[in-house]
Each structure stands twice: as C-alpha cells, then as structure tokens.
C-alpha cells in the first residue's frame, strides 16, 4: 500500500488549541519526491510553521508495526499544548526504540541525524547503576551520549535493569501527520471486508 501524503492531508487541520482554534494544513510540492507541509498562524502578520515530508509513503509491515506500537506505547493525549507538540514513545527495550527510529528514518518522516540532544530521557529505579546508564543506552541505540538525558532522581516504581527510555521529538507536524496516517489506515482496514482486511 502506498499513500500520497499530499492528497491525504487535503482539508486536514492541526489539533485544536486551548481556545478552540485549529489551522488548515497546506502542502506545496518541492520536487518529485518531497512536499512542504505547513500552516499559518497570526493575525495581520502571519508566520508559517513548516516541515518537509516525503510525498509518497510505502506502508510496509514494519511501518504498520511502528504505528501499532505508537498507538499502544506513545503519547496519545492532545489535552495540553506540550503534548500536542511532542511525538513520544516509551519502552525499556532498546531494540524497540531503535526500531521506531529506524523505520521513521527509512520512511524519511524523521531522520535520525536530526535527533536533538537530550531526546532520549531515561527514568530509572533505585537499584540501577546510574553511572552506566548513558553508556548502555548510547551503545544499544547507536546514538551519541549527548542525545541521552537521565532523570534527576530515581523512581521507586521503575524496576527495569537499565531503566526505561522515552523518545521525545518536539515536532507538532510529525505528531499530527502520524496521527492522520494512522487514522487513514484504520479506516481502510475496518471499511474493508474481513477477507481484504486480513490480506492487508
């Protein structure tokens, strides 16, 4: 299955703000592979919030897995401004976080090289050897230590040997576009016959 993001984003809006406003998502073709996705804010003097996305997205089994994982382990709340602006997933298995990043990178929705510092927050319990946590997660994720941030203090309920990692990407358009893609695929699956849904 291949999705044309330009078509998919037609007549779609941003999340509503606290005051109840939402902004129309607009697209502009940059080249045969990429589109600019943006929305405009402000009154007389407008400014744009924009980001480049691939125009076409191949929905592979790996991508479907990531969408399912995000729906189960990701940040789903849109009740606050901070949550609307963040793409976030949490897990204590480094390979899982690494797979999410890898699929986002392969699909060109988010490049690993663009991951800001302190994007991986590690929460840990009292029995964790704190001095080794950054080295462990850095090695397992294949990221530099500057990308890893440790919580200021341990949490009693955290029992994983090397703590739990939360991937934070402050990107309102990535968060919104991923939700739109996920909703679209769910609609395609559940509007199909049981046979075609199973095949999909």
> Is 76 a residue whose pLDDT tops 60?
no
Distance CA 183, CA 83 (A): 18
Query: Tell me, what DSSP letter sits at residue 134?
Result: H
Give me the residues paired with residue 13 across strands.
24
Residue 41: which H helix or E strand, with range?
Answer: strand 34-41
pTM (two decimals) = 0.83
> Is 81 a residue whose pLDDT tops 90?
no
**137 pLDDT tier (thresholds 50, 70, 90):** very high
CA angle, corner 46, sides to 54 and 181, nearest 5?
Answer: 30
Residue-averaged pLDDT of the chain: 86
> Is 197 a residue whose pLDDT tops 90?
no
* Contacts of 46 by beta carbon, 8 Å cutoff, 6+ apart: 40
Mean pLDDT, residues 59-86 taken together: 72
Q: How high is the pLDDT of residue 199?
A: 38
Cβ atoms of 31 and 108 within 8 Å: the answer is no
Cβ atoms of 76 and 87 within 8 Å: the answer is no
Tokens linked to 157: 């309920």
Mean pLDDT, residues 110-115 taken together: 94
Domain boundaries, the chain: 59-199
């Amino acid at each position: 299955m291949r999705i044309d993001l330009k078509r998919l984003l037609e007549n779609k809006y941003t999340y509503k703000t606290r005051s109840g406003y939402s902004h129309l998502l607009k697209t502009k073709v940059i080249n045969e592979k990429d589109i600019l996705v943006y929305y405009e804010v402000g009154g007389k003097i407008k400014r744009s919030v924009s980001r480049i996305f691939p125009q076409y997205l191949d929905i592979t089994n790996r991508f479907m897995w990531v969408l399912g994982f995000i729906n189960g382990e990701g940040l789903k709340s849109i009740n606050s401004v901070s949550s609307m602006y963040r793409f976030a997933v949490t897990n204590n298995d480094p390979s899982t976080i690494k797979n999410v990043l890898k699929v986002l990178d392969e699909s060109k929705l988010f490049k690993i090289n663009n991951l800001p510092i302190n994007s991986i927050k590690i929460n840990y319990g009292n029995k964790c050897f704190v001095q080794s946590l950054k080295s462990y997660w850095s090695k397992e994720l294949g990221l530099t230590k500057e990308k890893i941030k440790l919580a200021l203090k341990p949490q009693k309920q955290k029992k994983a040997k090397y703590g739990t990692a939360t991937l934070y990407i402050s990107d309102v358009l990535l968060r919104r576009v991923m939700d739109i893609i996920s909703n679209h695929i769910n609609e395609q699956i559940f509007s199909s016959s049981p046979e075609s849904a199973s095949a999909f």
